[in-house]
Structure 1
Amino acid sequence: MKYRSLALLSTLVLGAGLAACSSSGGSSDGAGDGRTALDVWLMRDSVSAGFQKEFETGFEKAHPEIDLRIQIQEWEGIGEKVTAALASNDAPDVIEVGNTQVAQYAQSGGLTDFSDRVGELGGGANWLEGLAEPGSYEGRQYGIPYYAANRVVIHRTDLFEKAGIDPARIRTRDQWIAATRKLNTGGTQGIYLPGQNWYVLSGFVWDEGGDLAAKSGGEWKGGLDSPGALRAMDFYRRLQALGKGPKDSDESQPPQAEVMAKGQVAQIIAVPGGAKVIEEKNPELKGKLGFFPVPGKSADRPGAVFTGGSDLVVPAVAAHQEEAFTLIRELTGDTWQKKLAVAMSYVPNKTTLAAAVADDPGTAAMAAGAVNGHATPNTPQWAAVEAKNPIKEYMTAVLTGADAGSAAADASRTITETLGSDS
């Protein structure tokens, strides 16, 4: 699968399901030929069959003492399956997990701590913050950045050209608003932005120096009522008003790529894979879609974006700790990261590898934006906030005329209560 869907990015955050750990997932001591059998769980569609075969062949040639056994897991049910594996005596040696899932697994003490070996992995300052930061818990590094994806602006190049707008010159929010207003004429929606696209709002909040929630004095508190977050919501309101997006639903209801495919929508904010959906629904738009990073407050830095993607973790009970480290070092190292990025149109795990995807316009736009990537608040309780999702209700309230300050205070209070309910 060439591109990850927007729904899958959300799955990376929530991670839920019903399946229990199966007996086929555990590690074995040997491969029967003197080699060490290394069991690895990778997620459905995170690698293609071709890349998987190439990596297995290359890895085993470089490390003939290891018999690599990759098992593809389904996203549905993976949360409980990983939890069960970490508590068992038969865990796999390496597991791919959604980047924002690491904290909940680390909290139980079930993951190996790699804090002292970050240098061996070539990590640290070069890692994408949106992967590395949620891969840590209480100052220790448990998740190793694997790959990333984030939202960009998908636009109609023909409508931009007709309006006399060069997308390469849209570098700031003010320029974006001006261009979108110019596009919003003659039956064209300057932008289709649904009212509850809270991931996009999150980016604006981070740009303003705020956060959805922050830890203070050992306690998590909602942050939607901070001055910066209120400025972010005001910008969202102004941008959303330049189109006809619904105020009471998110990007999946209806699917925004399908809305753009129907005709006169100049822009949406989505992962680049949305362009493939648009072209499938309306072949007349093939070759008429382009990409640019979400603009920032100033021209020298792209807008903040939510980073979806995966980290690699090792269960504390895994039988082959050194071999697992070797696998992670290879798969997250520069050579295989470049190959993975090209094969799967992902953003590599290091900012220094962005050039690897320069020939893919959508992925290049993602990589440019990924340098300002962030993740949701790094607490195991954040999944409970998303289950209630007071952020969506808050956004709809403001867009339909409620006082922003009061609505933000109510939503922040709910976030605070939810995060404190289990801490």
Structure 2
Amino acid sequence: MRRRLLALVCVSAALVSACGPLSGGTGGRQTVTVWLMKDSASQDFLHRFTEDFEHTHKDLRLDIRIQEWTGIGPKVQEALSGGGKDGPDVIEVGNTQVAQYVEGGRLTNLTLESMRDWGMQDWVPGLAEPGQDNSAQYGIPWYAANRVVVYRKDLFEEAGIDSPPRTREEWLSATEKLDKGGNQGIYLAGQDWYTLSGFIWDEGGELAKENANLWQGALDSRAALRGMDFYRRLQALGDGPVGADEEHPPQAGVFAKGKVAQIVAVPGVAQAIVQQNPELKDKLGFFPVPGKSADRPGSVFTGGSDLIVPRNTGDRDAAVAVVAALTGAKWDTDLARTMNYVPNKTTLASAVAGEPGVAAMAAGAAHGRATPNTAQWAAVETDNPIKRYMTKVLDGADAKTEARRASQRITEQLKPSLG
């Protein structure tokens, strides 16, 4: 979820790119070093933000350095362990990465600012929850993105479907109508576990549960099994490969061939589709993943970024000022409009209402979630038993038996490291 379609101009040839200072001489100001990730914000946005921030904070100067996602984990860990001199004061991290950085007490606790000044009650849950540890807020939501249903408006019209479905049952019924005449009702790869996660959460299930500080896989609960059963029924209304995920082959390319009515993806995929098949321009639409009832969209996995402040920052107040400005309503909505993101608060969704794909994302993000909030979750994604479980069920194996096996494997992977 952290890959972006737009690239910043200021990228060096080094392994980790870094933009130089975006303003002139220091002029006696205190420098605040900010690490932001490549493609998270346009160069124009960064220049506008820097000019405004330095105008309103006469004693501070921003040094924004752009980092590559590849290899960023070890670099952040090193910065958090260092003495603070010349290190970053603010760092953008993936929302699900906060858990691995908070270990060892190396992040600044921003709970008081969150509760007092930053309106944390309105934050998008899929960004806010991963930023917490033991009820303390360390990661401050910045922007979000999540999956929606990308569909062919012309195929819907031909099938007599007047409006996008709002419930799961309506979705199944519509997809059955679309799965005719050589077309696939939906292209849903068998190992798209992010989409499955939303169905499990809607049923009241979890991927894993924490009990007495220990995590256990939970795919074998009745609720989680209901989520898998819905996935099975939906996936059968197309020809998605049961033994591969949505990137193998890339589903944008499959959709572009013109025989697919729907996919579940971030709205930005529409650009890739139209590039491969210009005839589909103006034929694509978006709607939130339907929920169990019409009064709320389905749950979705939320990706995006949080901002953290290292505990070893040289100036806590200055770092907090940068975080407050970047995540405040003015600049957060500006970023959302500029980059087609979901703003960090549900109350700011109207800022992107004019962009259909982003508006559909924002509706889903209000009910978004993230992966289990533990640093060990990375081990699950590295050797993913959820994918294998899905393939076996779609191939006809007993769901309960395979869910139990996958849950046991997740429990093993989530055991705390002894190192």
Same fold (TM over 0.5): yes
Match among 100, 115, 135 for residue 96 of structure 2: 100
CA deviation string 1:240-282 (max 9, x = no partner) = 0000000000000000011000111000000000111100000
Corresponding letter in the other structure for 2:360:
A
Distance 1:26 1:319 in 2: 19
Aligned partner of 2:7 in structure 1 is none
Match among 65, 71, 86 for residue 65 of structure 2: 71
> Helix, strand or coil for the counterpart of 2:93?
strand
Corresponding letter in the other structure for 1:296:
G
**How far off is 1:20 after superposition?**
9.6
Answering whether residue 345 of structure 2 is matched by residue 347 of structure 1, we say no
Aligned partner of 1:14 in structure 2 is none
Corresponding letter in the other structure for 2:150:
I
**How far off is 1:217 after superposition?**
2.4
Distance 1:66 1:352 in 2: 30
Aligned partner of 2:11 in structure 1 is none
> Helix, strand or coil for the counterpart of 2:342?
coil
**TM-score normalised by the chain length of structure 2:** 0.94
CA contact (8 A) 1:38 1:324 kept: yes
CA contact (8 A) 1:130 1:306 kept: yes
Answering whether residue 155 of structure 2 is matched by residue 129 of structure 1, we say no
**How far off is 1:337 after superposition?**
1.1
**Which aligned pairs between 1:166-315 and structure 2 lie closer than 5 A?**
166-168=162-164, 170-315=165-310
Corresponding letter in the other structure for 1:267:
Q
**How far off is 1:286 after superposition?**
0.5
Match among 28, 34, 39 for residue 40 of structure 1: 34
**TM-score normalised by the chain length of structure 1:** 0.93
Distance 2:20 2:275 in 1: 40
Distance 1:7 1:391 in 2: 21
**Which aligned pairs between 1:328-339 and structure 2 lie closer than 5 A?**
328-339=323-334
Aligned partner of 1:416 in structure 2 is 411
Structure 1 unaligned segments of length 5 or more: list them: 1-5, 10-18
Corresponding letter in the other structure for 1:152:
V
CA contact (8 A) 1:143 1:311 kept: yes
Aligned residues: 405
Match among 79, 82, 94 for residue 85 of structure 1: 79
CA contact (8 A) 1:163 1:183 kept: yes
**How far off is 1:26 after superposition?**
12
Corresponding letter in the other structure for 1:36:
Q
CA contact (8 A) 2:20 2:65 kept: no
CA contact (8 A) 2:20 2:63 kept: no
CA contact (8 A) 1:338 1:353 kept: yes
Aligned partner of 1:152 in structure 2 is 148
CA deviation string 1:371-422 (max 9, x = no partner) = 1000000001000111110000000000001100000000000000110152
Match among 304, 316, 321 for residue 326 of structure 1: 321
> Helix, strand or coil for the counterpart of 1:306?
strand
**How far off is 1:8 after superposition?**
2.6
CA contact (8 A) 2:19 2:64 kept: no
Q: Percent identity?
A: 59
CA contact (8 A) 1:41 1:92 kept: yes
Corresponding letter in the other structure for 2:71:
G
> Helix, strand or coil for the counterpart of 1:8?
coil
CA deviation string 1:30-64 (max 9, x = no partner) = x6421010100000000001111111111111112
Structure 2 unaligned segments of length 5 or more: list them: 5-13
Corresponding letter in the other structure for 1:151:
R
Distance 2:120 2:300 in 1: 20
Distance 1:408 1:302 in 2: 26
**How far off is 1:164 after superposition?**
1.0
